[in-house]
């Protein structure tokens, strides 16, 4: 029984690493007595995979994981048993069967939608900064890489930027092929609107999409 699960990561859970998240989920599965399938070999691991690691400190409404059970269970029961064992801040929202899907979650993801919430901003000034950024073919920012700090063009990875109230929504490249951290978008905006980064209250990932802008549940 192969399942795809959507969950949220909120509150203090924003501060746990991806590795700790996987440990927390594995522990919850064991405590929920779910019949999880394991890999073969000398060190069997539960068959669980998460779509895309979330930056430490970010919250999310749209995280995804796949897992495999060796017995059939009602989907509502899987959700209930897991939520009973997960800590505050982690919550299973939806669950579907994916018996005929072979593409891994990581390979599936191409885009992600983030919401960057500010306090005490000049909306007109921010709109001007957004428009200037989007009107350019080249937006250079400095990025930390394994080989040191490099200047990179992030404009091709920004699909859409739009402001609603005090939240800037950013649809950007995400996944194993290309991945743009919203913090780099903020760096680019900070060049055009000095101090905007200091006004950030929260960064939330709302959902993830494939190349056709379908969520992992719609594939």
Give, for all 219 residues of the chain, the pLDDT tens digit: 999 999 999 999 999 999 999 999 999 999 999 999 998 888 888 999 999 999 999 999 999 999 999 999 999 999 999 999 999 999 999 999 997 777 888 899 999 999 999 998 999 999 999 999 999 999 999 988 888 899 999 999 999 999 999 999 999 999 988 999 999 999 999 999 999 999 999 999 999 999 999 999 998
pTM of this structure: 0.93
Q: Given this model, what pLDDT does residue 208 score?
A: 97
Residue 78, in any domain of the structure: yes
Residue 203, in any domain of the structure: yes
CATH code: domain of residue 96: 3.30.70.580
Long-range contacts of 195-200 (CB under 8 A, 24+ apart): 196/118, 196/121, 196/126, 196/129, 199/118, 199/119, 199/120, 199/121, 200/116, 200/117, 200/118
Domain final residue, candidates 107, 130, 156: 107
Residue 31, in any domain of the structure: yes
Give the C-alpha distances (Å, rounded to integers) separating 126 from 170, 193, 196, 204: 14, 7, 8, 19
6 shares its domain with 41: yes
102 shares its domain with 8: yes
Question: What is the total count of domains within the chain?
Answer: 2
Would you mind telling me the total number of residues written for the chain in this entry? Answer: 219
Which domain, by its residues, includes 174? Answer: 109-209
Q: Quick check: 197 and 142 in contact, CB under 8 A?
A: no
77 shares its domain with 144: no
Residue 217, in any domain of the structure: no
Q: Are strands 200-209 and 59-68 parallel, antiparallel or unpaired?
A: parallel
113 shares its domain with 201: yes
Q: Given this model, what pLDDT does residue 92 score?
A: 97
Rounded-to-integer distance, Cα 6 and Cα 10, Å: 13
* Torsion, Cα of 165, 58, 55, 171 (10° steps): -20
């Amino acid at each position: 029984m192969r399942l795809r699960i959507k969950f949220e990561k909120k509150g203090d859970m924003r501060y746990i690493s991806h590795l700790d998240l996987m440990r927390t989920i594995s522990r919850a599965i064991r405590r929920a007595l779910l019949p999880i399938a394991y890999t073969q070999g000398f060190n069997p691991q539960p068959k669980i995979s998460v779509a895309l690691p979330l930056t430490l400190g970010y919250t999310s409404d749209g995280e995804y994981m796949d897992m495999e059970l060796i017995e059939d269970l009602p989907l509502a029961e899987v959700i209930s048993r897991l939520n009973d064992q997960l800590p505050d801040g982690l919550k299973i929202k939806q669950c579907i069967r994916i018996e005929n899907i072979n593409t891994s979650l990581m390979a599936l993801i191409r885009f992600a939608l983030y919401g960057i919430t500010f306090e005490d901003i000049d909306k007109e000034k921010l709109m001007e900064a957004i428009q200037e950024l989007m009107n350019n073919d080249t937006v250079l920012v400095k990025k930390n890489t394994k080989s040191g700090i490099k200047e990179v063009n992030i404009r091709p990875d920004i699909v859409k930027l739009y402001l609603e109230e005090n939240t800037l929504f950013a649809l950007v490249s995400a996944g194993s092929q290309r991945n743009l951290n919203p913090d780099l978008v903020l760096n680019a905006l900070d060049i055009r609107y000095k101090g905007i980064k200091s006004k950030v209250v929260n960064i939330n990932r709302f959902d993830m999409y494939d190349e056709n802008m379908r969520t992992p549940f719609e594939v």
